Amino acid sequence: MLKPTSSSDALPPLVVGVDVGGSKIASALVDANGHISARVRLPTDVSSPEATLDSIAAAVRQSLSAAGQDDQLVKSIGLGIPGLVDAERGIGLASVNLGWREVAVCAGLQARLGLPCAIENDVRAAALGEARFGAGRGLDSLVFLTIGTGIAAAVILAGKLYPGAHGLAGEIGHAVLDRDGPPCKCGGSGCFEALASGPAIAARHAHKMRQAGQSHLPGNPAQSLESLTARDVFRLAEQGDPLAQDTVCEAAEIIAQAVQLIALAFDPPVIVLGGGVAQAGSQLINPLRSVLDRLAKENWVFASVYSPDLLQLSRLGEDIGILGAAALAIPMP
Amino acid sequence: MLKPTSSSDALPPLVVGVDVGGSKIASALVDANGHISARVRLPTDVSSPEATLDSIAAAVRQSLSAAGQDDQLVKSIGLGIPGLVDAERGIGLASVNLGWREVAVCAGLQARLGLPCAIENDVRAAALGEARFGAGRGLDSLVFLTIGTGIAAAVILAGKLYPGAHGLAGEIGHAVLDRDGPPCKCGGSGCFEALASGPAIAARHAHKMRQAGQSHLPGNPAQSLESLTARDVFRLAEQGDPLAQDTVCEAAEIIAQAVQLIALAFDPPVIVLGGGVAQAGSQLINPLRSVLDRLAKENWVFASVYSPDLLQLSRLGEDIGILGAAALAIPMP
């Protein structure tokens, strides 16, 4: 359970970074260089908000006790939470995954642990993590675009999360691209999320396979089309399946439109791609870059904000949740 | 030529605001409350950059001399320019309308007039004018969306223009909405600008009229479809022409998508609509609001950033050029 890391330029731990998910809580100590130690992973108790806070506190305590004498150096806790957050008041406003509505997270953890706590939505925390420790290191602005179950962006300007008037800046996943497109979870139709999120890519490919008379995955009669994932589609494309390559191209066209839009709206120095679909790595970013290159060749205004390295893959890998949460609590250098 | 205005809360003039266009230069004195006096309008001499600077200086001198004794109070000049600007270095980088490339505007005017000078792209200056004196008064953030010959946005955050990494933040007019759409001036296809700028609205309607076998405007056999403008389309729609009402609806759908996108990307407290097409006033904003109301009813994420008064018409009317330019030079209160 514990997997301490060490490095020559590791500093004394400063904060506990906690990545709170609907099924597991990942916690670790993090120093100002982003070095991680004392990793802990516990199941999330979602039976009640108090029980969830208890399991978060248990994970933090385990990380602290794994730190040994260093635990006295830990000054605060950062938490990334799936859902809407009032960061200023330390409140979890709404989380479907945790079953939360208006939960006083920071007060509850301060009472349990005696440490101050900062919370943020997990995508926004991840953006801050990339700015601090990842693909945006050394830059004071970036846009983090996450493509997974949903599509959302978070915006860092002048080293800080840019919230917008309602804390929803960057929610371009629910902008309508194709009014005649498929229905979206938000109630609308043809939003970016309905067209190119992980589930949308899988649904797009399953539809195409059914039209081609296929009822299960090539080489895997046990897997029906109902359980197809975006990961399967990228794997098939990599193996040379032409239908899957076609689906990847379609998804790349749509995600490229989202990237172009972010580039023109915010003109950021870098756009960092994260989330489950981005784990396809070069399988996603190569077709994406070739669409973007084409758009920049056609369109001189886009060419003025675009360069081949504008789009970067997240560099924090599976640690993005912990490092993003930690970035919330580590004071700016 | 001179049309001094006065008001009970007018303050001593502070700056000269200069709206530099390809055919005319409008100049006036402006105080910290946005009161305008000593208006001057001169033709723009575009025979050379030096000649243009001479005609700008002449307009400024006329405004100053019309001010009488107050001219000693004027501390600086603000200029809005059609084209790309390096505001920090006071340079006009490129302007098709003025025939400029890398013109040292501020140095040239300082030499001619002995006053410091601030320059900005005219759309960005207009955004600052709305934030300071218009629909964004009292707010520290807004997005200004101009719909005229082109479509572009300018973003004010924390009371300041947000430039982006290349000074192009807000150029969403060249984001592709419909890959199969008509060609755009930028070289791309199906950009917002190619679908719903003034010329695009006119072309859309002319096409529809030709398909309906009409070769000139109803009631005006002298006007051929080649000279049709967006203004004509809105006027016909107002008069009850069903084909024109149809075109206005189509344009409203597309512009609403741009507004939705801005709302989700920036989550601003207000989006101010300006430019020639926005002069249609309620003829544009009413159908736009009804599309936006529908989108918000369908889509709960958009509903979270939307309210019926999110979208406002520019309040500065024809003075927007002068007041925007002045806002560049007036220190923040």
Main-chain phi, psi angles of A237, to 5 degrees:
-60, -40
Q: What angle do CA A247, A249, A252 make, to 5 degrees?
A: 110
Contact B172, B154 (CB under 8 A): no
pLDDT digits (tens, 9 = 90+) for A123-172: 999 999 999 999 999 999 999 999 999 999 999 998 899 999 998 999 99
| Out of A141, A166, A261, closest to residue B261 by CB | A261
- φ, ψ of residue B38 to 5 degrees: the values are 55, 55
Q: Inform me whether the pLDDT recorded for A290 exceeds 60.
A: yes
Q: Which pLDDT band holds residue A324 (cuts at 50, 70, 90)?
A: very high
- Chosen for mutation from A93, A142, A259, A266 (greatest number of chain B CBs closer than 10 Å) is A266
Which residues of chain A have a CB within 8 Å of the CB of B172? 261, 264-265
Confidence of residue B10 (pLDDT cuts 50, 70, 90): confident
Burial class of A88 by CB neighbour count within 10 A (0 to 12, 13 to 18, 19+): exposed
What are the C-alpha distances in Å from A102 to residues A99, A112, B151, B186?
10, 18, 41, 48
Q: Could you give the residue range(s) of every CATH 3.30.420.40 domain in chain B? A: 15-131+318-329, 136-315
Residues B49, B51, B53: CA angle, nearest 5 degrees: 70
Q: What is the pLDDT of residue B316?
A: 95
pLDDT higher than threshold 90 for residue B12: no
- Among A1-10, A159-168, A230-239, the range scoring the smallest mean pLDDT is A1-10
Burial class of B34 by CB neighbour count within 10 A (0 to 12, 13 to 18, 19+): buried
Distance from CA of B303 to the nearest CA of A (A): 10
pLDDT of amino acid A111: 97
Closest CA to B192 of A151, A169, A177: A177
| pLDDT of amino acid B210 | 94
Does the structure show a pLDDT above 60 at B3? no
Tell me: pLDDT of B142 over 90: yes
Q: Give the pairing of strands A24-30 and B160-161.
A: unpaired
B313 touches chain A (CB under 8 A): no
Asked whether the beta carbons of B154 and B161 are under 8 A apart, the reply is: yes
- With a cut of 70, say whether residue A5 has pLDDT above it: no
Cβ contact, residue pair A304, B253, below 8 Å = no
- Of B57, B84, B121, B164, the C-alpha closest to B321 is B121
Q: Tell me how far apart the terminal alpha carbons of chain A are, to the nearest angstrom.
A: 31
User: In the block, which residue shows the tokens 């642990």?
Assistant: A113
Q: Worst-scoring range by mean pLDDT, A1-5, A307-311, B329-333?
A: A1-5
Mutate to test the interface with B, among A144, A299, A310, A312 (most CBs of B within 10 A): A299
Mean pLDDT of A22-45: 95
Query: What whole-number distance in Å separates Cα of residue A146 and Cα of residue A106?
Result: 26
Q: Are B292 and B260 in contact (CB under 8 A)?
A: yes
**Contact pairs from chain A to chain B, CB under 8 Å:** 138
- Yes or no: say if B207 and B226 are a contact pair by the CB < 8 Å rule: no
Average pLDDT of the segment spanning B153-174: 94
Is A265 within 8 Å of chain B by CB?
yes
By Cβ distance, the residue of B172, B257, B295 closest to A265 is B172
Verify whether the Cβ–Cβ distance A165 to B262 is below 8 Å: no
Q: Are strands A151-157 and A160-161 parallel, antiparallel or unpaired?
A: antiparallel
Least confident of A115-129, A238-252, B209-223: B209-223
Residues of CATH 3.30.420.40 domain(s) within chain A?
Answer: 15-131+318-329, 135-314
| Binary contact (A267, B169; C-beta < 8 A) | yes
Per residue in A307-323, pLDDT (tens digit) is 999 999 999 999 999 99
A305 touches B: beta carbon within 8 Å: yes
pLDDT at B116 over 50: yes
CA angle, residues B51, B52, B55, in degrees to nearest 5: 90
- Which residue of B lies nearest to A306 if distances are taken between CA atoms? B166
Which pLDDT does position A333 carry in this prediction? 67
Two structure tokens written together for A316: 């924090």
State the Cα torsion B168-B285-A166-A172 to the nearest 10°. -50
Query: In terms of CA atoms, which chain A residue is nearest residue B162?
Result: A266
More confident of the two residues B4 and A279: A279
Burial, B208: exposed, middle or buried (Cβ in 10 Å; 0-12, 13-18, 19+)?
middle
Mean pLDDT across chain B: 92
Distance (Å, rounded) from C-alpha B198 to C-alpha B278?
A: 9
**Residue A261 to residue B264, Cβ atoms within 8 A:** no
- Asked whether A83 and A93 are in contact (CB, 8 A), the reply is yes
Q: Candidates 3.40.50.1820, 3.90.1150.10, 3.40.50.300, 3.30.420.40; correct CATH number of B136-315?
A: 3.30.420.40
The strand pairing partners of B147, in sequence order, are B151
Nearest CA to A142 out of A157, A120, A164, A122 is that of: A157
Position A70 scores a pLDDT of 67
Nearest CA in chain A to B305: A166
User: pLDDT-derived band of residue A331, with 50, 70 and 90 as boundaries?
Assistant: confident
Mean local confidence (pLDDT), A63-77 = 83
Q: Both tokens of residue A55?
A: 């399991």
Under an 8 A CB cutoff, do A172 and B267 touch?
A: no
Put residue B138 in one of left, alpha, beta given phi > 0 → left and psi -120 to 50 → alpha.
Answer: left
Chain A residue nearest residue B269, CA to CA: A165
How far apart are the C-alpha atoms of A130 and A323, rounded to whole Å?
8
pLDDT at A157: 94
B186 interfacial to chain A (CB closer than 8 Å): yes
Taking the CB of residue B157, how many other CB atoms lie within 10 A of it? Answer: 19
Q: Report the Cα–Cα distance between both ends of chain B, in Å, rounded.
A: 31
B191 touching A, CB under 8 A? yes
Place B67 in a pLDDT band, splitting at 50, 70 and 90. Answer: confident
- Quick check: B261 contacting A, CB < 8 Å? yes
Contact A14, A330 (CB under 8 A): yes
- The answer, for A292 touching chain B at a CB cutoff of 8 Å, is no
The CATH code for residues A15-131+318-329 is 3.30.420.40
Which are the contacts of A125, defined by CB distance < 8 A and separation ≥ 6?
A78, A79, A80, A321, A324, A325, A327, A328
SS3 B36: strand
**What pLDDT does B108 receive?**
98
Task: Give this complex's ipTM.
Answer: 0.91
Q: Cβ of A25: how many Cβ atoms within 10 Å?
A: 23
Cα B219 to Cα A193, B27, B213: the distances in Å are 47, 39, 15
- Closest residue in chain B to residue A163, using alpha carbons only: B267
Please indicate whether, in this complex, the C-beta atoms of A174 and B264 are within 8 angstroms of each other. Answer: yes
Tell if the CB–CB gap between A187 and B298 is shorter than 8 Å.
yes
Residue B308 near chain A (CB below 8 Å): no
CATH superfamily of A135-314: ATPase, nucleotide binding domain (3.30.420.40)
Does residue B20 surpass a pLDDT of 50? yes
Nearest by CB to B267, from A166, A261, A305: name it.
Answer: A166
The verdict on a CB contact (< 8 Å) between A301 and B171 is yes
Of the candidates A253, A247, A260, A261, the one whose C-alpha atom is nearest the C-alpha of residue A200 is A247
Q: pLDDT grade, residue A3 (50/70/90)?
A: very low
**CB of B171 less than 8 A from some CB of A:** yes
